[in-house]
Amino acid sequence: MAAQRAGWPTWFRAVWVHAYTYSKVWKGSVTTTFLFPLLYLAAMGVGLGTLVDRHAHHVGGVAYVDFLAPGLLAGTIFQVAVNESTYPVMARIKWMRTYWAMLATPLDIDDVLIGHLGWSALRGGMVSGAFLLVMEGFGVIHSWWALAVLPLAMAASVAFAAPTTAYAATTTSENGFALLYRFGVMPLFLFSATFFPLGQLPVWLRAVAQCTPLLHAVNLLRDCTLGIFPATQALVDVVYLAVFAAVGIAFARRAFRKRMVL
């Protein structure tokens, strides 16, 4: 196997395992990968957006579909990263014990964790690539800076996946995942400037939103597709996501070492 050739880092073998598994089931995700952005942008960006533009005279200085598309892109990456890091992580530890099988090879716990996060980054890149194609079809990409969406989406995926992985590695019951989606994923998706500007929220809720990773990802991806880069805000967004990812990785590493001590 290519991933087993000398010279490849050991963690890459873990990434290859996830990629190989996905290669057997990828057809099941193609429809949703392209259909989700297509339907959302058609219904909300074009349909609802026409009414919004008519009465609000654009949102954030741009047409509503231009405002909405990158927000939905960031929200989709967020949900995919969380999906990849909840039930799949628990399954590989508790039910299928795939991670234990990996540890029976020359891979160590850090390789297993980095492999998972590396795969989450690749999934984020794949999803963002498909989303960008749909966005281009709707004519909502206005700058070559949109090419930066791919690496930024991959980095944001790690920031989303790392703390979720830490949580999944510490819990012994999947019941907590329902609470995570209900009180974590959905509120962030709805109130992180995805569908409307942050300024429309109450002051206290704006302060809460500023502390969440999804808002900073939305800011960055929206700036890329619109070609508008407030330098200070972009730097804050990048630093926030980097720190959030680093802290999440530290917690995930600790959780893996505690849960999977041989």
- Is residue 257 packed enough to be buried (19+ CB in 10 Å), middle (13-18) or exposed (0-12)? middle
What residues are paired with 62 via a beta bridge? Answer: 59
The tokens of 242 are what? 């980097």
Sign of the four-CA dihedral 179, 180, 184, 186: negative
Confidence (pTM): 0.89
Q: Which residues contact 43 (CB under 8 A, 6 or more apart)?
A: none
pLDDT, one tens digit per residue, over 154-187 is 999 999 999 999 999 998 888 889 999 999 999 9
* Segments in the chain below pLDDT 70: 1-7, 48-51, 53-58, 262
The tokens of 203 are what? 């002051």
Q: What's the pLDDT at 57?
A: 64
What b/e readout covers 208-241, taking b as 16+ CB neighbours within 10 angstroms?
A: ebeebbbbbbbbbbbbbbbeeeeeeebeebeebb
pLDDT, one tens digit per residue, over 33-66 is 777 778 877 777 777 666 676 666 667 778 888 8
